[in-house]
Structure 1
């Protein structure tokens, strides 16, 4: 019986008046409370008066410029503030949960994120304005853990036991450089001309016995790779690509990561030889994600983007050196 009476009491509380009173007590001012609540000072005064009538006790000591809560008023103002604060926390938590439900967290390598994924995300945003993408980058060498992201994009052999694994893109590897190197003092007419240039190397090496490096490319094409003038090593693919674009040296390009720069004219292929990489890009996600609509929409979108990769531009022959 007591619990029923308590429930009825809570349901019948004059919440609008309570909120108005709490604002007055906090500001010690009817005008301050009115400004905060976006109502007239008269409306605030009426709400506080109706609350005092409902309780049968005065709650404020009214003055010309300040209205301070009395002992009972201070107790009530504190209780309201604590209650509203708790309500606010719960509402924010619910809103955060909704935001989380509309966010897709992607885990991938920095190079892939910066060079391939970021430039294409605007397409996804336009197609799915109700969803948002959050990118987390890591080395990718530790495998994909379900708690770290909704879906992973991994570079390697596709070995991720316990997860759904789908191939996103295969890759070919081939030398790329700035067009400026073709016009320099040592144009790249032949592989032997690499002896005059800086060799740019990507130090990222996923677990494999056959990394798609310079030696792999030469071996696959039965070429003799000369010792370069110097070697620069980078730990991220995007840094290798940027160094090549700036004319620092010749890089071994990985198809998906250099395709945009090739078609944009920022990079060229000095030689025609390519090699199919033993590694590829994979989508990795947990079994539970197979039922997620947002994951399905992202997977469909990124597969379409991967399938729309333009063809590899033809290699360019550098002009004969003019002495």
Structure 2
């Protein structure tokens, strides 16, 4: 007996074993009772075993043999597993996986706490987040979408503006008090400056030098001293720990400000011409996953707001 017919025969046996009636099993399988009988007889001949006795009494004329009764639970469990496997294959066909490359700090501080909302809105898309600060070859690395920070122009990629940061000092709430409380920008001379040098090759990227000059304190506070860190998230974590004061930017500090791990001690802020952009290959601009992710990301970016300086909440004791 060929394998497909063997499987059909086993399915017919399982149905007849439940109903103990050829007609009921035939209706379930959408075949004739004669076809069911033929499959059962063929299976008995192939296996050289009797599956049913004919009963002359009781409500049913079919009775399972001991051999048939002993294998029925295993056979039914096997069909259950087979059904689950088929459903899994159907589900896998309906799901679409795509890869997004994201700067490490942006993923840590902004994207990952929001991505569940994308999954809820688009449950059939499986995101693969690639965290990297290097410029990735979208074709070679099979990247569908990227988020990049810069001036908005990258070779062979289409870019869509997302949001622009403002830069301002942030620190642990503990530094608002103590021996040298942060009340004015000039008080920074008493505290360690944490320098984020991850974007030092971009002259437009704000630094402590540019912020202090805008705040009128360049000659009061030595902008060259302090701790230099080439990772934005690590620089902010240093500020959270109370070690020093970092120059934060809107997208990366909004959650820590809202949760009270960081505070913004001064009103002064600095804008930057660099911004976050969604990027993808030209040939991908009409792909459904790219369009879905772009729409969602632009919506999320529109929800970003600045947190008021700590001084705006009310006067602090002097």
Range of TM-score over shorter length: 0.5 to 0.7
Q: Deviations over 1:231-282 (max 9, x none)?
A: 2222221111222112111000011111122222221111111110131111
Post-superposition offset of 1:48: 7.2
2:125 pairs with 1:142: no
**Matching residue of 1:125:** 119
TM-score normalised over the length of structure 1: 0.67
Gaps of 5+ in 1: 1-8, 19-44, 54-90
Q: Decide whether aligned partners of structure 1 residues 171 and 228 sit closer, same or farther in structure 2, where only a CA change above 3 A counts.
A: closer
Equivalent in the alignment of 2:199: 205
Superposed displacement of residue 105, structure 1: 1.1
Q: Take 2:228 and 2:42, find their aligned partners in 1: how far apart are those partners? A: 72
- Picking from 134, 145, 152, the partner of 1:158 is 152
SS class of match (1:265): coil
Indicate if the aligned counterparts of 1:14 and 1:51 stay in contact, CA closer than 8 A. Answer: no
| Match in the other structure for 1:301 | 296
Equivalent pair of 1:259/1:312 in contact (CA under 8 Å): yes
TM-aligned CA distance change 1:46 to 1:115, over 3 Å: farther
**Structure 2 portions without partners, runs of 5+:** 11-39, 49-85
Deviations 1:158-195 (A, max 9, x none): 22121110111111111011111011211112222212
Q: Which residue of 2 aligns with 1:215?
A: 209
Decide whether the 8 Å contact of 2:209 with 2:223 is kept in 1.
no
Which of 282, 307, 310 aligns to 2:305? It is 310
> Offset of 1:197 from its aligned partner?
1.0
Query: Match for residue 253 of structure 1?
Result: 248
In structure 1, distance between residues paired with 2:233 and 2:42: 63
- For these two proteins, the number of residue pairs brought into alignment is 252
CA distance 1:131–1:12, shift in 2 (3 Å): closer
Any idea what the Cα deviations from partners look like across 1:269-309, whole Å, max 9, x if unmatched?
Answer: 11111110131111000122212112211111111111011
1:289 aligns with 2:284: yes
